[in-house]
Structure 1
Amino acid sequence: MMQPPPAGPDAPLFIVLNAGSGRDNADEARQAIEAACTQAGRRFRIFLIDGPDRIKPLAREAVERARAAGGVVVVAGGDGTINAVAQATLGSGCAFGVLPQGTFNYFSRTHGIPRDTAEAMKNLLTEQPRPVQVGLVNDRVFLVNASLGLYAELLEERETYKSRYGRSRLIAFFAGLLTVMRGHQTWRLRMAWHGQERDIRTPTLFVGNNALQMQQVGIAEAEALENGQLAAIALKETGPLAMLGLLVRGAMGRLGQADQVLSFPFESMTVKAARTRGARRLKVATDGEIGWMDMPLLFRVSPEPLWLIRPEVAPELEAAKE
């Protein structure tokens, strides 16, 4: 039986705060953090991310200091920032805390952590570390999802639209709509899992590790994510209009009912190019962050969990199951 790391009422907090979502939001979050820690008599230190190249080094420093002091590593940011700090924290022996600051906040919502920073601080200061499943692709952490092909392209272009027009769910939806209608490349992939092997032509492969997101788009394998598995979703080769129909189905929570969708649960899966002279490197998105990876890709459940400080019950996830 795995034992949770210590995170008692005297454990100091080492908080990585992303200022990228806007100065006013960052200032408000910082004030809420300082007020809650002062009121609780909790020691803390804030590491302010003031540029994209500062996330990884500050995450590593926060983890090193937390390990030395028996403290808790905390991240205040969106899913991408949470991913980077989780990558540094996994396997460190430190408890992990989240103060959500993003647009969708799937990770925090799935685990019952409030969007409001003051409320999230109450959770952080009173709850206990509980194990949370982590997905890996070539040893790169993903807490929400990992993808290649069209979905990764959609995420990359969505950031361009957000930088021009602002960060909102409506902007994200219309950015995705424009990407889908423009057309897309088809990938020939060979997937191997549970002793099975299958070749597929697909515009995108999506691997989910977030039950709330899977339930919202209507994928039946959402339950598998709470039982030590990941969920693979591949779209069969189709045209722009059919792809638009799939986008609408996903928005209505009925994606899994479409004939063009292949989905299945797994614990470990290898993905490579179906042709010998296929791609050797390709773009992979992990929790919305794009990076190049070498083929073949190995998707798997991490052998050790992330010890997240969270409530025992997540109201939004429970409501989605009904």
Structure 2
Amino acid sequence: MQPDLELDTASPLLFVINAASGRSDADAKRSVIEQALQAAGRQGVLHFAKPSELAGVAREAAARALATRSAVVAVGGDGTINAVAQAAHAAGCAMGVVPLGTFNYFARTHGIPTEPALAAQMLMQAQPTPVQVGTVNGHVFLVNASLGLYPVLLEDRETYKSRFGRSRWVALGAACMTLLRVHRQLRLRIDQGGTVREVRTPTLFIGNNRLQLEQVGVNLSTHPARPLDDGFIAAVMLKPIGTLAMVGLMLRGAMGSLGEADSVESFAFSRMLVKPRRRKIKIAFDGEIVRMQTPLEFRVAAQPLYLLMPRPQAAADAEGAGA
């Protein structure tokens, strides 16, 4: 890995903020960031962007951050963080996060507070640290990427949330309704470094976040390759099963025992080529859904993402403040 980047603290931090939630929400985000900047005697430039503008704004901010030895900061949920990560990783600049999502796996894994004000304050004293990211056909993912049933679950969840509001109960109900429908099995040709096999599965899930996997009960910590730490990521694949068995797996995941099910296979890898029978297929990564040309190459990115992470003492202080 390259050595850590050194930032010029006199250069403004560049914030990319999802403006989809309206004026009052934007004012609240602005207030949190400006208070943190003022308290630290730092400067910042705030870029508010609609979802359709996020990628372009993030690229411009990342290029500016690299030129000024500063950092680009994502303020928002998974989609915003992923858009900024794509740009920061491509540019090679440092990136910060003020998380506003539901689960915030990426932030929690790297010691970033999930309370926005604390996260913004910690940014002012954070240092760029290389962290592992995965890619699918060159697209960066921080937490997970998947094909098959999981993208359908995400789409249905968003439909239900737009009608009934955002809550975990709505998400659970949407998942149950999705699983009760009949779903086509994927036929995949999987190539892991010359070992090729043909499989049938309702979904293939690729994880780059140990916290998320362990919460649903998939624990690969005893694997000799040490996945998700030293150049490996994890795959979770379901064997062909019926509807009731699928609902049972969802309940196992909710109780943290998914990995104990006989119908679940998990393994570690650094590069894997997946060839479905279709020329294009829906892929979900970090909550975003796109159509990609096949075959699909999943791999650990050769270059890390330089994430603004709290210094050990700052992380301890923030934990004490949030207690």
**What letter matches 1:263 in structure 2?**
S
Contact 2:123/2:310, CA 8 A, preserved across alignment:
no
1:80-119: per-residue Cα shift (whole Å, max 9, x none)?
Answer: 1101110011042311100001122111111111121110
Q: What is the TM-score normalised by the length of structure 2?
A: 0.92
**What letter matches 1:52 in structure 2?**
P
**Which is worse superposed, 120-129 or 243-252?**
120-129
- Tell me the residue number matched to 1:173: 172
- Tell me the residue number matched to 1:160: 159
Structure 2 residue aligned with 1:225, among 224, 228, 237? 228
Contact 1:103/1:169, CA 8 A, preserved across alignment:
no
The equivalences for 1:141-290 within 5 A come to: 141-221=140-220, 224-273=227-276, 278-290=277-289
Structure 1 CA distance, aligned partners of 2:15 and 2:202?
A: 39
Q: What is the aligned length?
A: 310
Q: Tell me how far 1:168 sits from its aligned partner.
A: 2.5
| Alpha carbons of structure 1 residues 144 and 121: separation in structure 2 relative to 1, 3 Å | same
The equivalences for 1:98-113 within 5 A come to: 98-113=97-112
1:28 and 2:28 correspond: yes
SS at match of 2:212: helix
1:147-191: per-residue Cα shift (whole Å, max 9, x none)?
Answer: 001001101111111222222333222211211112211111011
> RMSD between aligned alpha carbons?
1.6
**What letter matches 1:250 in structure 2?**
G
Structure 2 CA distance, aligned partners of 1:263 and 1:21?
A: 38
Contact 2:8/2:68, CA 8 A, preserved across alignment:
no
- Tell me the residue number matched to 1:307: 306
- Tell me the residue number matched to 1:318: none
Q: What is the TM-score normalised by the length of structure 1?
A: 0.92
**Which is worse superposed, 116-125 or 167-176?**
167-176
- Tell me the residue number matched to 1:319: none
Structure 1 CA distance, aligned partners of 2:39 and 2:185?
A: 56
Structure 2 CA distance, aligned partners of 1:298 and 1:55?
A: 25
Q: Tell me how far 1:311 sits from its aligned partner.
A: 2.7
Structure 2 CA distance, aligned partners of 1:210 and 1:71?
A: 27
Unaligned runs of at least 5 residues, structure 1 = 316-322
- Tell me the residue number matched to 1:75: 74
- Tell me the residue number matched to 1:59: 58
Identical residues among aligned pairs (%): 53
Structure 2 CA distance, aligned partners of 1:158 and 1:175?
A: 5
| Alpha carbons of structure 1 residues 23 and 112: separation in structure 2 relative to 1, 3 Å | farther
- Tell me the residue number matched to 1:41: 41
1:53-89: per-residue Cα shift (whole Å, max 9, x none)?
Answer: 1111111111122122221110101111101110011
SS at match of 1:225: coil
